[in-house]
Structure 1
Amino acid sequence: MSKPNFGGLDWIKFIVALMVVANHTGPFLSYSATADFVLSNLLTRIAVPVFFMTAGYLFYRKLTGDPAKDRKTLYGYMRRTGKLYLIAIVLYIPLNVYKGYFSDSFTVYSLFKDIVFDGTFYHLWYLPALMLGLLITYVIDRMKSMNAMLAVAGGLYVVGLLGDSYYGILPSGSGITRVYAGMFTVFDYTRNGFFYAPIFLALGAWAAKHPSPARSPMANATLFACSLGMMVLEGSILHAFDIPRHDSMYIFALPATYFLFHWAMQWKVRSSKTFREWRVWVYILHPIAIVLVRGGAEATHLERLFIANSLLHFAAVCLVSVGMSAVTVWAVENQRKRKHRPSRFVLEQS
């Protein structure tokens, strides 16, 4: 795979990382409730599926078919993701204390639910979802086939849809609603690693193992735009009839993600490891940036600009998030260099 293709993935993941920030800040809220709903509640729902599909693609393209080597690749990926998740959990303990997370409702069971499914902070659910979803797709692929992986993942997504954006179509008081009520004692949303992540990881796996369709960039862009438009229409209709329990999962998110991925693979831009790592930390750190922007605005009496003005608030959070990410990547890279740098004694003896 050529570097420009990976550069496209780097850029699209950075863009959708900023869309996640938009989802949590409401850029148009002080201008138009309708425009903000379309952006923050509909268009941004393409962001996490892109993360999952690119993760599936990059993981499955490394697999060789050798069971021992592939297990080693899986364990390495899970270990790195788990380490990042642990760092993020610790990082957000102060904010959790401030929010009252460790109140009387806090139990060992609630902690287990959050660590495995919901995340210990509102955006951290993505990391356990990635690990669980990857484990599910990997096991199915090894036991059956990639077609079976897609079929099972698709079935899980349908179950997830009925617990998310399509929950309102379930008959009230029926047996199936009681089943979902039981499920919601184990996790808060079906937007998790069991029902949500596998299908997008499977689409990425399919893209890694099968030749890219011979479509022009314009064709992929058009198909993406049409699919995204249908997703916006889908979400608008569902909300108009007050059907969603939550609004993370949509049917047309599948083709929209698929075509956006293949379009991004055709972008002729350079790949950058540093830029790629910024995206990771923008996602991890942006809630802290939200707190810093709000606190800074209050301390300087600039609430009218950076809190009341939703667009400026969004822009400020993005800038602070990117700045914090750049500093974090720089610090990690310097620590890595110092760790691998030969000691003075070794240099003197050489």
Structure 2
Amino acid sequence: MVVAIHTSPLLSYSADADFLLTRVLCRVAVPFFFMVTGYFVAGDFFIRRDGAFKKFLRYIKKTAVLYGSAILLYLPVGIYAGHYKELNISSVIRMLLFDGTFYHLWYFPACMIGVALVYLMSISGIKIQVWMVVSGALYLIGLLGDSYFGCIKEGSVLYHIYMQGFQIFSYTRNGLFMAPIFLILGIKIFLGNKFYSESKVSFENKNALKTKKLSGAGMESGKSTQDSLNLLANCIGLTVFGLLMVAEAFTLRHFGVQRHDSMYIMLIPTAIFLMKALLAWQGRSSKFLRNTAMWIYILHPVMIVVVRGAARALHLTGILVDNSLGHYLAVSCFSTIAAVVLSQWTERKKKEDFKCGRAWIELSRSALRQNVTALQKRVPDACKLMPALKADAYGHGAVLIARELADMGVDAFCVASVEEGIELRRHGIKGEILILGYTHPDLFPLLFRYRLSQTVVDFPYAVLLNRYGKKIHVHIGVDTGMHRLGERSENVDRLYNICRMKNLIVDGMYTHLCADDTLKKREMEFTDLQAKVFYKLIKELEERGCPRPKIHLQSSYGIFHYPELAEDYVRVGIALYGVLSTGEDTEKYKDILKPVLSLKARITSVRNLYAGESAGYGLEFQAKKDMKIAALSIGYGDGYPRGLSGGESAVLIEGRRAPVIGRICMDQTIVDVSGIPGVKAGDVAVLIGKSGEEEISVCHLAKETGTITNEILSRMGARLERIVV
């Protein structure tokens, strides 16, 4: 459609037909682009306030880079065509912000301005219905400067206002007057679909058993019928309002009202019904097609130049240039070929960073988000999550997890060492990063340089920190009974003196509940004692004049067992990743916590093992009958426990269990695939996670090896690639 607008395919045959195609029907393209951006990008601004600003900035940065690259691409063409003669500051600003530096590039600044306005709308607290009215009013203002300009009396005050406006922007088809309404409409459709989906899921969850037993097929049939009726209604609406837009456009053209032809009144309902009709079809997402479409949009003016040059060189001007349809087809063909080549090239460049060749970890973004939401709901609004990212985020990948959490609005983290904190800072993680463990005095400069908060592990350590001479942010550790780190709670004078040290900025004070993972009487009494001792200390320090810092007692189990102890932070660890330390504990909360991590490996070889033959080290496994075995490219060097050797453990291949046989090696594991037909080298085995209807949990591995999930996850090897899915 965009290529058609810029090449007028039917002009050689009929001016009216070409007007209908390029100046009316094809005008739905750009509004549709805006609505898609509203639906898939800006909709989150209104439902997920935490992280919305970062998503907004990410979108603006991405679009600005694309716009800047396109500017550089078309700079030589624009200079050759004389577009940049007699430039001044105001004309440069006009081109960059409104008109685009080349005729089709106006879309990129329009997107950025429109999305910026919509983001400001989202944080204003005003209802979206009000902003729909505001954006509608902006569109009406734009209409008078576009298709309805002739309705303004020449010489009137309004006429002069618009003429002054055209000194700032050449067209009202821009990010100020055109983009906001279609972005808001895309958001409105997104919110409507999300509300419908969530309501439906909630209803189905409440009535799951009844639905299955009484009316499973009937509901599917009803849903299908309703969807068909919705599609039919949207197609009828699209047809009706599309015809009304055609009538509107030809009427305006007949009376010579149009200054430009991008904005019509009937364009709004036409775009709405087009979007809703297309949303009725569920398809597979294709990044390749998205990239190809983007390149077609960017490159087609270049291809217009290329086609004209090629036509002259080949003496085909009559076919490829003078014939408007031939010109359109040639430009479309060249643009598509160039776009496909570029898309394939960029995909190939990305495949050079392919991370699923041997063994890898997949991290579920949706599971992580669900866990964060579930955990936040179990603590008061004033209590913030301070996720524990120590041990590479329990083997999940600290940088990847921190980025996802930051995107959700989390801005406080804790780690075990200064090295872990620096790793996060070097990868752009902002906010507070608290080191829970010991940092050697020689490394104190790193605390200052990377703006890390340090735990005061006892009074002598506080003295060393203070002697460093520069202001260091600290949280004071208080030993209330675990006797691991922290100044003893009864040493009130020492703790008071720590608070008064001039070079220590005391941001927090915390203790660790060492028996909160069970609700047995003895452990509960001890936990209650720890809490009482800690709160008594806080009160005594306040009475002595020490300002109350942020305090925190809870970790993962504390959230579930002692919700009343939620304070300023909760140092959530293993629960963040969708499990607790044991299978029994995890089972209790399986409805709200979802495992984030899956462990997978490639099958490297499949072979026959005959009766009487042995496999693996030490001849430990001997085949009792002919069988088929496969080697997996993973071993204890990757963190897959050697203790699973020769036991009842298995992996999943094509939704079936393949028992582990023999000893697990450093880099390889052998499994029995006799009962799984068609297994071949390159196939994927799931060691933790789901395959088909089967699942192997990290809790199962922990139970088989006599340990806890924390250890299994934290020992996942550094050579395992980690990807977010």
**TM-score normalised by structure 1 residue count:** 0.89
Is 1:53 matched with 2:19? Answer: no
Structure 1 counterpart of 2:69:
87
Q: Which has the higher helix share?
A: 1
Q: CA deviation at 1:42?
A: 1.1
Structure 2 counterpart of 1:273:
287
Structure 1 counterpart of 2:244:
230
- Structure 2 distance, partners of 1:141, 1:170, is 34
- Structure 1 distance, partners of 2:111, 2:77, is 23
- Cα deviation, 1:266-290, whole Å, max 9, x if unaligned, reads 1244331101111111111110111
- Structure 1 distance, partners of 2:319, 2:304, is 14
**Is the 8 Å Cα contact of residues 166 and 238 (structure 1) preserved in structure 2?**
yes
Structure 1 counterpart of 2:127:
145
Is 1:154 matched with 2:142? Answer: no
Is 1:185 matched with 2:134? Answer: no
Identity %: 41
Is 1:127 matched with 2:108? Answer: yes
Residue from 331, 339, 360 that aligns with 1:317: 331
**Is the 8 Å Cα contact of residues 46 and 122 (structure 2) preserved in structure 1?**
no
Q: CA deviation at 1:140?
A: 1.6
- Cα deviation, 1:37-58, whole Å, max 9, x if unaligned, reads 1111111111100000011000
Structure 1 counterpart of 2:183:
201
Residue from 317, 327, 334 that aligns with 2:341: 327
Structure 1 counterpart of 2:262:
248
Q: Secondary structure at the match of 1:267?
A: coil
TM-aligned CA distance change 1:176 to 1:230, over 3 Å: same
What pairs up with 1:294-305 in 2 under 5 angstroms? Answer: 294-305=308-319
Q: CA deviation at 1:67?
A: 3.4
Gaps of 5+ in 1: 1-18, 343-348
- Cα deviation, 1:271-318, whole Å, max 9, x if unaligned, reads 311011111111111101111111111110011111122111111111
- Structure 1 distance, partners of 2:46, 2:306, is 45
TM-aligned CA distance change 1:249 to 1:64, over 3 Å: closer
TM-aligned CA distance change 1:140 to 1:63, over 3 Å: closer
Structure 1 counterpart of 2:9:
27
Letter of the 1:275 partner, please give it.
L
Larger Rg: 2
- Higher RCO structure (Cα 8 Å, ≥6 apart): 1
**Is the 8 Å Cα contact of residues 21 and 286 (structure 1) preserved in structure 2?**
yes
- Structure 1 distance, partners of 2:269, 2:39, is 16
**Is the 8 Å Cα contact of residues 137 and 153 (structure 1) preserved in structure 2?**
no
Structure 1 counterpart of 2:91:
110
**Is the 8 Å Cα contact of residues 320 and 327 (structure 2) preserved in structure 1?**
yes
- Structure 1 distance, partners of 2:322, 2:76, is 26
**Is the 8 Å Cα contact of residues 42 and 115 (structure 2) preserved in structure 1?**
no
Residue from 168, 175, 191 that aligns with 2:150: 168
**Is the 8 Å Cα contact of residues 71 and 101 (structure 2) preserved in structure 1?**
yes
TM-aligned CA distance change 1:291 to 1:147, over 3 Å: same
Structure 2 counterpart of 1:239:
253
- Structure 1 distance, partners of 2:282, 2:152, is 46
Q: CA deviation at 1:340?
A: 7.0
Letter of the 1:282 partner, please give it.
I
- Cα deviation, 1:196-228, whole Å, max 9, x if unaligned, reads 000000000101111379652222111101111
TM-aligned CA distance change 1:33 to 1:64, over 3 Å: closer
**Is the 8 Å Cα contact of residues 60 and 209 (structure 1) preserved in structure 2?**
no
Letter of the 1:170 partner, please give it.
I
Structure 2 counterpart of 1:306:
320
Letter of the 2:285 partner, please give it.
S
Gaps of 5+ in 2: 197-225, 357-717, 720-725
Structure 1 counterpart of 2:23:
41
- Cα deviation, 1:242-268, whole Å, max 9, x if unaligned, reads 001111100000000000001011124
- Structure 1 distance, partners of 2:99, 2:134, is 22
- Structure 2 distance, partners of 1:175, 1:273, is 50
TM-aligned CA distance change 1:47 to 1:174, over 3 Å: same
Structure 2 counterpart of 1:7:
none
- Structure 2 distance, partners of 1:102, 1:36, is 30
**Is the 8 Å Cα contact of residues 39 and 189 (structure 2) preserved in structure 1?**
yes
Q: Secondary structure at the match of 2:91?
A: helix
Tell me whether 267-276 or 38-47 shows the greater mean CA deviation. 267-276
**Is the 8 Å Cα contact of residues 52 and 197 (structure 1) preserved in structure 2?**
yes
- Structure 1 distance, partners of 2:282, 2:316, is 41
What pairs up with 1:54-69 in 2 under 5 angstroms? Answer: 54-63=36-45, 65-69=47-51
Q: CA deviation at 1:333?
A: 2.4
- Structure 1 distance, partners of 2:14, 2:48, is 54
Q: CA deviation at 1:63?
A: 3.9
**Is the 8 Å Cα contact of residues 164 and 190 (structure 1) preserved in structure 2?**
yes
Q: CA deviation at 1:115?
A: 0.5
- Structure 1 distance, partners of 2:70, 2:29, is 20
* Equivalent pairs, count: 325
Q: CA deviation at 1:60?
A: 3.0
